Structure 1
Amino acid sequence: MAGASLLTLLDDIAAILDDVALMSKVAARKTAGVLGDDLALNAQQVSGVNADRELPVVWAVAKGSLRNKCVLVPAALLISAFIPWAVTPLLMLGGLFLCYEGFEKLYHSMVHKQQEEMSHAELVEAVGDLKAFEKEKVAGAIRTDFVLSAEIIAITLGVVAESSFLTQVVTLSVIAVLMTIGVYGLVAGIVKLDDAGLYLSQRQGQGGLTRFWRWIGGGLVNAAPYLMRGLTLVGTIAMFMVGGGILTHGIHIIGEQFNLWASLVAQWIVIGPFLSMLTPSLLNSLFGVIAGAIVLLLMSLIGKLGLK
């Protein structure tokens, strides 16, 4: 009797693990786009610190990301169980915040172009000190991570909505841990790319393989600044794309109109199918820019009224 009960328990556990594996695979595929945006945004957010402090900063943001998910996973389960109608409005608030942060960066880059030419030492001096500079970087990255993590958790919750509660808990936990390790492992690799290139470029010897590694190292050192600038651009665009996409998904009439325009573009000869894939993202990004501009204007007006 005890043996039969144990076999039944093991069979139930195996069934749950199979469900978790399947659901995790589907959720990972559906969140891949957000994961890419998360990677670009966080690599951009932690850039600009001293080389010897890059990994500690990435580690601090990674720990903040895990804390975010420790809050988001239980909150998502509770909201889904008791007030499921609140999921979309909360996500839209997060999307609006992303648009606001993105436009604020865009605005400051246009108004204060001279800041782009500031050295790291001058930038740190302008902020205050090194610790304050790093703290500001980490806090900004964790805030951005919170919104993107919330969307990843919400997408995953949608995948496992019809599953048992235990399957939901385990799947959300697995996705939360794997996404955090994957994103911040890649971020750490990206920010240390120049150091890896420097190490390879300084290898001694005249053998063909050694010369090849020195060539690779030199290429990495030269490419690293352009990669970081590219990630800064991609990260800002991702804020508008993700934030705008969340907003248009919540405002159904706008989302449906964008899909209609994409279907019309698809009818164009030759380039139609390709452009139809880009159209929703471009329109979501544009909507995100407009939404961010409106929020920044409102925040500025509130600030001025508060000062008065």
Structure 2
Amino acid sequence: MASGLFALLDDVAALVKVSAASLDDIPTQVAKTTGKVSGIVIDDTAVTPKYVVGLSPNRELSIIYQIAKKSLVNKLLILTPAALVLGYFAPWAITPILMLGGAYLCYEGYEKVHSLFSPHPAADPEAGPVATITPEELEKQRVAGAVRTDIILSAEIMAIAYSQVVDSPVVNQIIVMLAVAVFITVAVYGFVGFIVKADDIGLHLARNAGSPAVQKFGRGMVQFMPHFLNILSYVGTAAMLWVGAEIIAHGIPYTAHLLHELELALASVPIVAWLAKVLACGIGGLALGFVVDKVVRLVKRMAPAKN
């Protein structure tokens, strides 16, 4: 009886040791996964500030908080459980879903590029009165647009996170994915909040700092931030095309092989290999966005008009 009890205690101790060793590996898995999704994180960080540009400065942080809250809820309560369930019951469905999300990113990126180079039509004097929109309605539209884009990016992040822990125990999978969701959301939207309020920080330094050097630095921040936000909007558009096309390319064996061969051919100069891959994906994403745009326009024309 005693020997059986001791044997049971030995088994429990061994199980605890295995579980502890497995849990010790979680920080490494979180760090590895965060590195794998760095491209999408850059995209998310670059895209979000444009949703608060032009709105009241007093509402900027509130809007970012709303987007961040919805992003975190989506990651924790929808995307993480969905990735775990699909990974267990239908792992074949994850890649097509990611590719659809990639196509949407390419479409949005193409739309932004197209708007930059398309002449804006002049107002028709015979047209009726222009519809007005309240600041509150505009804010809701901006938040909805940001959340719509974020959920695509978040889905890619959580799917990649799952791919890094697919061979780990279920408990590890859950802990790592939840940790990645929280860490990336806080990091992205914390940095976005700093970006959109940097001009206010600069203004405060320019007016209240005791040192002339700090005041000069504050004035420089105020002058630089509009240019930085403009550059960031271009970076966000380019990142949409790059990330969207790369997701699709990795879902097709032939294009995945081509990308791999391109990287191998330039492996002696890693930065050139990376730039070549980004350029190839950007051009491919623009072409795919063009095709998707034409399909969307065709579907809209064929759809029956609403009375």
Residue deviations 1:96-154 (CA, integer Å, cap 9, x gap): 01111111122223325589xxxxxxxxx866121121111111111111111111111
* Per-residue deviation, 1:259: 3.1
Unaligned runs of at least 5 residues, structure 2: 1-6, 123-129
Distance in 2, matches of 1:169 and 1:75, equals: 12
1:44-66 per-residue CA deviation (whole Å, 9 max, x = no partner) reads: 33333211110011001001101
User: Aligned partners of 1:160 and 1:273: how far apart in 2?
Assistant: 27
2:290 corresponding residue in structure 1 = 293
Q: 2:275 — aligned with what?
A: 278
Give the Cα separation in 1 of the matches to 2:241 and 2:55. Answer: 25
Q: What secondary structure sits across from 1:189 in the alignment?
A: helix
Q: Cα offset for 1:261?
A: 3.7
Tell me the distance in 2 between the aligned counterparts of 1:126 and 1:225: 29
* TM-superposition CA deviations, 1:221-264 (whole Å, max 9, x none): 01110110011000000100000101111112122223334444
How many Å apart are 1:156 and its aligned residue? 1.1
Are the counterparts in 2 of residues 44 and 235 from structure 1 also a CA contact under 8 Å? no
SS in 2 for 1:128: coil
Structure 2 CA distance for aligned equivalents of residues 221 and 171 of structure 1: 39
Q: Distance in 1 between matches of 2:151 and 2:246?
A: 17
Specify the alignment match of 2:125 in structure 1: none
Alignment of 1:114-125 (within 5 A): none
Q: Does 2:78 match 1:71?
A: yes
Where does the alignment leave 5 or more consecutive residues of structure 1 unmatched? 116-124
Contact 1:46 1:141 in 2 (8 A): no
Alpha-carbon separation, structure 1, partners of 2:208 and 2:121: 38
Q: 2:144 aligns with which of 136, 139, 151?
A: 139
Higher mean alpha-carbon deviation, 71-80 vs 254-263, is at: 254-263
Q: CA deviation at 1:307?
A: 4.9
Q: Which residue of 2 aligns with 1:188?
A: 193
CA separation of 1:239/1:11 partners in 2, compared to 1, >3 Å: closer, same or farther? same
Say whether residues 1:58 and 2:64 are aligned partners. yes
3-state SS of 2:303 partner? helix
**Counterpart Cα distance in 2 of 1:112 and 1:63:** 37
Classify 1:2/1:188 alpha carbon distance in 2 versus 1 (closer, same or farther; 3 Å). Answer: farther
Answer whether contact 2:206 2:217 (CA < 8 A) is retained. yes
Counterpart check, 1:98 vs 2:99: no
Q: CA deviation at 1:265?
A: 5.1
- Partner SS state of residue 25, structure 2: helix
Deviation, 1:303, is 1.1
Secondary structure of 2:167's match?
A: coil
Q: Over the residues paired in the alignment, what is the CA RMSD in angstroms?
A: 2.5
Q: Which residue of 1 aligns with 2:157?
A: 152
Identity of aligned residues (%): 36
Q: Which amino acid aligns with 1:229?
A: N
**Equivalent residues, number:** 291
Report if aligned partners of 1:127, 1:133 keep a CA contact under 8 Å in 2.
no
**1:227 lines up with 2:219 in the alignment:** no
Which of 1 and 2 has greater Rg?
2
Q: Counterpart of 2:136 in structure 1: which amino acid?
A: K
- Give distance in 2, aligned partners of 1:146 and 1:159: 20
1:85 to 86, 92, 96: 92
**Could you tell me which residue of structure 2 aligns to residue 254 of structure 1?**
255
Which residue is equivalent to 1:27?
33
Q: Is the CA contact (8 Å cut-off) linking 1:198 and 1:217 kept in structure 2?
A: yes
Separation in structure 2 between the aligned mates of residue 242 and residue 220 of structure 1, nearest angstrom: 30
- Rounded to whole Å, the distance in 2 between the matches of 1:127 and 1:34 is 35
Are residues 274 and 29 of structure 1, via their aligned partners in 2, closer, same or farther at CA, if it must alter by over 3 Å? closer
Residue 241 of structure 2 corresponds to 240
Query: TM-score by structure 1 length?
Result: 0.87
Aligned mates of 1:187, 1:8 — CA distance in 2: 46
| Counterparts in 2 of 1:35 and 1:273: CA distance versus 1, 3 Å | closer
